[in-house]
Structure formats: structure tokens, C-alpha cells
Amino acid sequence: MTRHRREDGAAAVEFALVVPLLLIVLLAIIDFGWIFNQQLRLTEAAREGARHIAIHSTEAGAEAAAEARATNVAGVAVTVTYESTCSEQATDDVVTVRVTAPMDDLTGWLDAINPGATLSGVGSMRCGG
């Protein structure tokens, strides 16, 4: 005579153990995608700022052009710095623009791990267009 165990709740217990892990992985993937999108936008903004300096040989509108491209990055103000600038005489120089903004994640987990982290994008372009 063999005794059979009842396994009525086994699937529910396994489901309860696996679901939190799957949700953590899913939220981490979504958060990583959000941060990566912000990084791409900052790089695009830096490239636009470098393009403006390379074409116009002035820094006057480059910051406005970079900030206009970076407006969707977490809704915060960005910082634009110029590592080099173009002069009208030297067209073989390369202008480099760096745009930085505070990192803003969706879940708040990354901010808890690394508070005050920033994202930055770098754009370079040959002077003269």
C-alpha cells in the first residue's frame, strides 16, 4: 500500500516564489532602457551643439541648440561645456561639446545605489561643417 501526497498548492507556491524575481528583472530591463534612451538624447544634444559651433564658428547659439535637443531628458536643465572651439581661420580643428544632466531613473533603484549620478553625452565635429 503506497501513500500518495497531495500536490494541490504546489503550483501556487512555485508561482509565488518566481513572480517577484521576474518582476525585478522586468523592471530592471525597463529602467535600463529608460537610462539608455536618456544617454542617446544627451549624445544627440551634444552633437547638435558641436554642429552649431562648427557651422557658425560661435558659441552664441550652441548652448540653446543643445538644450533644445535635450529638453526631453528627465525635464531637467542640462550643462553644456566646450572642450574646444572653432575659429574662423582654422577650419581643420575639431570642436567638442559635452552635455551633462542628472540621471533620472523610473524606479528609483539606481538613485538609491548611486545617488547624484550624472549622464553625459559628447559630440565632436570638424570646424567648417
- Does any domain span residue 82? yes
* Residue 108, domain extent: 10-126
* Residue 100 near residue 119 (C-beta atoms within 8 A): yes
Q: What is the pLDDT of residues 14-72, one digit of tens each?
A: 999 999 999 999 999 999 998 898 889 889 888 888 888 888 867 777 777 777 777 76
- Does any domain span residue 1? no
Model confidence, pTM:
0.76
Q: Which of 80, 78, 50, 49 minimizes the C-alpha distance to 65? A: 49
Q: What is the pLDDT of residues 84-110, one digit of tens each?
A: 667 665 557 788 888 888 888 888 888
- Does any domain span residue 92? yes
- Does any domain span residue 17? yes
Give dist(CA 85, CA 95) in Å, integer.
5
pLDDT value at residue 95:
83
Secondary structure of 57-105 as H, E, C letters: CCCCCHHHHHHHHCCCCCCCCCEEEEEECCCCCCCCCEEEEEEEEECCC
Q: Which of 57, 61, 60, 50 minimizes the C-alpha distance to 87? A: 57
Number of compact structural domains in the chain: 1
